[in-house]
C-alpha cells in the first residue's frame, strides 16, 4: 500500500468536527493543523454549518478537489459509511482516531472496515489511535499544541501501538535533544501495522533509525518483521511490553516451558540484529546513539576520563553489558604519555581507561582522544568529561568532535547536568556526537552500537 499521502498530505479533511465542543478531538486536530501546519484542512460534519468562519462540509464527497488524508474522529458506528465515502471520493488514505472497535470487543465492525479498505487498496492507520505526527505537513494527535514538548526535526522515526507511550517518548527524546523524523501511533493496527511502517521508513530518506514500541505481533507476524528488519540498512530499535507471562499455562514440554513468548521474542530480535531496549532507560539512549552512528561496533571501548573513579565505574558498566575495555600496549601507553603535557605525565595513567586527572587541560583531552581514536584495539571511545575540572573550557566538546570527523571512530560523551554545562553539550551535539548524563547511559549507547548486528 502507498503510504506517502498519509505522511505528507497537501490537503486533509477532519471528519467529526463539533460545532459546540471545542475540546472534541476533531476540533483539536483541525485547529492545530489549520493554524500551524502546511496541509490545507477542511472541516467535515454530517450536519454541515460554519466553524470558525469556515464552511463545514456535510460529507467528504462535498469537499472540493483531491483530499490526500482524511482524519476520522467520529463514533465508531459512523466509520464504515465515512470510509466508504472516502474511497468513493478518491481520498488518499485515512487515520481513524475513533475507538470502540476490537479493543472493546467490537471486532466485527473492525473487520468490516478492513475488508472494504483492502478491496479498495485504501490505506488507513488505527482505529483507536493518535495517528500521525509528521511536521511540517500534518499532526493528527489530539493533544493541544501547547501541551506537548516537540522534538526537533531529526532522524528517528517512532512507531507505537500505544498513543500515550508514543507521546511520552517524544517528550523524552526532546529532552535529550534527539530529533524525530515522524511518529505514528497505530492503535489497533487493523490494517497498517509495524511491518508496513518498517517498509515505509526503510525507504524514507529523512529517517535513519526506526524505533518501535510493540505489545505483540499477530500470528507469524514477528517472523516477517525480523526478516524485513534484517534486510533494512537502518538500525531498528524495539521496546517490548508484556515480558512476563500472563497466568500459568500447563506446559508439557521443557522446550515450550523455557521458550516462553518473551524469551523467543528477545532471542529472535537479537538473532536478526534488531536492537531490543529492555526499558525506557535503554530506549532513549539507544535511539540517540543510533541516530548518530549507524554502523555496528565489536564493542572494544576506549575510555578517557578526568577522574579515576569515573573510569572505574565506566569499566564496570562496560563489562556488565558485554563490552570489553582492552588494556593498551606498553608502546601505545608510552606514546600517549610522551605527547601529553608534562605537568600531568607523572600523575596520569594510560592503560585504558586513560585517566588524565583533575589537572588536565583541554589540550590533554584533545591529544589523548586523537591518539586513542587511531588505535585499532578500540572501536568506540567514551569521553567522561567533568566540566568542573579547572583546566577545561566550554570549547572542548566542539574540539573533540572534530577528531571524530577526522577519524570516524564513534565517540560518546558523558557530561553531568544539562543546564549548567549546556555549552559543552552543544559542542558535541551540534556535531552529532551523542551525550549521556550518566555513566550507565553512556555505556548503554555503546551497547546499542554493538547490538545493531546479528548475534
Judged by beta carbon, residue 226 or residue 443, the one nearer other proteins is: 226
Spatial distance between the Cα atoms of 391 and 384, rounded to a whole number of angstroms: 15
Q: In the stretch 415-454, what mask flags binding to other proteins with x, by CB under 8 A? A: ---------------------------------------x
Single out the segment in contact with other proteins by CB under 8 A; choices: 160-168, 169-177, 258-266, 427-435. Answer: 258-266
Say how many CA atoms lie within 13 Å of 138 toward its Cβ.
Answer: 26
Nearer to other proteins, 175 or 322 (CB): 322
Q: Which is nearer to other proteins, 129 or 269 (CB)?
A: 269
Cell numbers 524495539 correspond to 238
Closest distance to other proteins from the beta carbon of 252 (Å): 6
Comparison of 263 and 330: residue with beta carbon closer to other proteins: 263
Candidates 171, 259, 347, 422; binder of other proteins (CB under 8 A) is 259
Check residue 257 for interaction with other proteins (CB under 8 A): yes
Q: How far is the CB of 51 from other proteins (least distance, A)?
A: 45
CA-CA distance, 247 to 21, in Å (whole number)? 43
> With CB under 8 A as the contact rule, which of the stretches 136-144, 151-159, 260-268, 312-320 interacts with other proteins?
260-268
Q: The C-alpha cell of 73 is what?
A: 474522529
- Binding part of the chain for other proteins, among 31-39, 259-267, 332-340, 376-384 by CB under 8 A, reads 259-267
* Distance between first and last Cα of the chain: 32
Among 2, 150, 223, 405, binds other proteins (CB under 8 A): 223
Q: Which of 112/266 has CB closer to other proteins?
A: 266
3-state class of 207 per DSSP? coil
Instruction: Identify the residue whose cell numbers are 477532519.
Output: 14
Shortest Å distance, C-beta 194 to other proteins: 11
Q: Which residues from 271-290 bind other proteins, rule CB under 8 A?
A: 271-272
Binding residue count for other proteins, defined by CB under 8 A: 27
Contact 156, 180 (CB under 8 A): yes
Q: Which is nearer to other proteins, 225 or 424 (CB)?
A: 225
Interaction pattern, residues 389-418, with other proteins; x per rule: CB under 8 A: ------------------------------
Residue 25 in the binding site for other proteins (CB under 8 A): no
Least distance from other proteins to the Cβ atom of residue 19, Å: 45
- How far apart are the C-alpha atoms of 209 and 211, rounded to whole Å? 6
Q: Is 256 in the site for other proteins (CB under 8 A)?
A: yes
The span from the CA of 298 to the CA of 380, in Å, is 9
CA 150 to chain centre: 13
241 binds other proteins (CB under 8 A): no
Query: Are 69 and 38 spatial neighbours (Cβ–Cβ below 8 Å)?
Result: no
CB of 455 to other proteins, least distance (A): 6
57: DSSP letter:
B
Can you tell me the distance from the alpha carbon of 426 to that of 401, in angstroms, rounded to the nearest whole number? Answer: 11
Binding residue for other proteins, selected from 20, 244, 246, 255, defined by CB under 8 A:
255
CB atoms within 10 A of CB 205: 6
Least gap, CB of 217 to other proteins (angstroms): 4
- For CA atoms 434, 284, 282, 210, the dihedral sign is negative
Contact call for residue 254 and other proteins (CB under 8 A)? yes
Burial of 92 (0-12, 13-18, 19+ CB in 10 A): buried
The nearer residue to other proteins, 52 or 257, going by C-beta atoms, is: 257
The reply to whether 245 sits near other proteins by the rule CB under 8 A is no
Is 264 near other proteins (CB under 8 A)? yes
Which position among 35, 252, 342, 419 is part of the footprint of other proteins (CB under 8 A)?
Answer: 252
Question: HSE of 44 in the Cβ direction (CA atoms, 13 Å)?
Answer: 24
CA atoms within 13 A on the CB side of 210: 26
Q: What residues are paired with 301 via a beta bridge?
A: 380
C-alpha Rg value of the chain to the nearest Å: 26
Choosing from 46, 221, 280, 362, the residue that interacts with other proteins (CB under 8 A) is: 221
Cβ burial, residue 101 (10 Å; 0-12/13-18/19+): buried
Collapsing DSSP to helix, strand or coil, 448 comes out as helix
Of 148-156, 162-170, 212-220, 294-302, the segment contacting other proteins by CB under 8 A is: 212-220
Q: Which is nearer to other proteins, 263 or 279 (CB)?
A: 263
Distance of CA 285 to the CA centre of its chain: 9
Across the chain, how many H-helices and E-strands are there? 17, 19
- Of 66-74, 106-114, 215-223, 432-440: span binding other proteins (CB under 8 A): 215-223
* Near other proteins by CB under 8 A: residue from 101, 122, 201, 265: 265
Closest of 46, 43, 102, 106 to residue 71, by C-alpha: 43
Which residues contact other proteins by CB under 8 A? 216-223, 226, 252-259, 261, 263-265, 267-268, 271-272, 454-455
Amino acid at each position: 500500500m502507498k503510504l506517502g499521502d498519509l505522511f505528507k498530505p497537501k490537503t486533509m479533511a477532519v471528519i467529526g468536527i463539533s460545532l459546540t465542543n471545542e475540546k472534541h478531538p476533531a476540533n483539536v486536530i483541525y485547529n492545530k493543523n489549520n493554524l500551524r501546519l502546511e496541509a490545507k484542512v477542511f472541516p467535515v460534519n454530517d450536519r454541515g454549518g460554519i466553524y470558525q468562519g469556515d464552511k463545514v462540509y456535510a460529507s467528504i464527497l462535498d469537499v472540493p478537489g483531491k483530499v490526500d488524508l482524511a482524519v476520522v474522529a467520529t463514533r465508531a458506528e459512523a466509520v464504515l459509511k465515512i470510509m466508504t465515502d472516502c474511497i468513493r471520493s478518491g481520498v488518499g488514505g485515512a487515520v481513524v482516531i475513533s475507538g470502540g472497535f476490537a479493543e472493546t470487543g467490537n471486532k466485527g465492525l473492525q473487520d468490516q472496515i478492513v475488508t472494504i479498505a483492502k478491496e479498495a487498496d485504501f490505506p488507513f492507520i488505527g482505529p483507536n489511535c493518535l495517528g500521525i505526527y509528521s511536521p511540517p505537513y500534518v499532526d493528527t494527535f489530539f493533544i493541544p499544541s501547547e501541551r506537548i514538548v516537540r522534538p526537533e526535526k531529526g532522524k528517528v522515526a517512532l512507531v507505537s501501538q500505544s498513543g500515550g507511550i508514543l507521546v511520552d517518548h517524544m517528550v523524552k527524546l526532546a529532552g535529550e535533544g534527539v530529533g524525530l523524523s515522524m511518529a505514528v501511533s497505530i492503535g489497533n493496527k487493523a490494517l497498517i501495522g509495524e511491518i508496513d511502517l518498517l517498509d515505509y521508513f526503510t525507504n524514507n530518506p529523512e529517517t535513519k533509525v526506526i524505533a518501535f514500541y510493540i505489545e505483540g505481533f499477530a500470528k507469524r507476524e514477528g517472523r516477517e518483521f525480523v526478516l524485513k528488519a534484517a534486510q533494512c540498512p537502518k538500525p531498528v530499535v524495539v521496546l517490548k511490553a508484556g515480558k512476563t507471562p500472563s497466568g500459568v499455562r500447563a506446559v508439557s514440554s521443557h522446550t515450550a516451558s523455557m521458550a516462553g513468548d518473551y524469551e523467543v521474542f528477545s532471542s529472535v530480535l537479537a538473532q536478526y540484529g534488531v536492537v531490543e531496549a529492555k526499558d525506557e532507560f535503554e530506549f532513549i539512549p539507544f535511539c540517540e546513539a543510533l541516530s548518530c552512528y549507524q554502523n555496528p561496533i565489536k564493542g572494544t571501548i576506549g575510555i578517557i576520563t578526568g577522574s579515576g573513579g569515573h573510569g572505574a565505574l565506566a569499566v564496570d558498566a562496560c563489562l556488565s553489558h558485554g563490552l570489553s575495555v582492552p588494556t593498551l600496549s606498553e608502546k601505545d601507553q608510552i606514546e600517549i604519555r610522551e605527547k601529553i603535557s608534562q605537568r600531568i605525565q607523572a600523575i596520569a595513567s594510560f592503560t585504558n581507561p586513560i585517566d588524565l586527572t583533575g589537572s588536565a587541560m583541554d589540550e590533554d583531552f584533545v591529544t589523548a582522544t586523537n591518539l586513542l581514536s587511531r588505535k585499532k584495539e578500540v572501536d568506540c571511545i567514551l569521553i567522561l568529561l567533568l566540566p568542573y575540572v579547572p583546566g577545561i573550557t566550554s570549547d572542548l566538546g566542539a574540539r573533540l568532535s572534530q577528531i571524530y570527523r577526522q577519524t570516524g571512530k564513534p565517540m560518546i560523551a558523558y557530561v553531568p547536568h544539562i543546564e549548567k554545562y549546556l555549552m559543552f553539550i552543544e559542542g558535541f551535539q551540534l556535531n552529532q556526537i551523542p551525550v549521556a548524563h550518566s555513566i550507565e547511559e553512556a555505556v548503554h549507547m555503546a551497547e546499542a552500537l554493538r547490538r545493531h548486528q546479528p548475534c
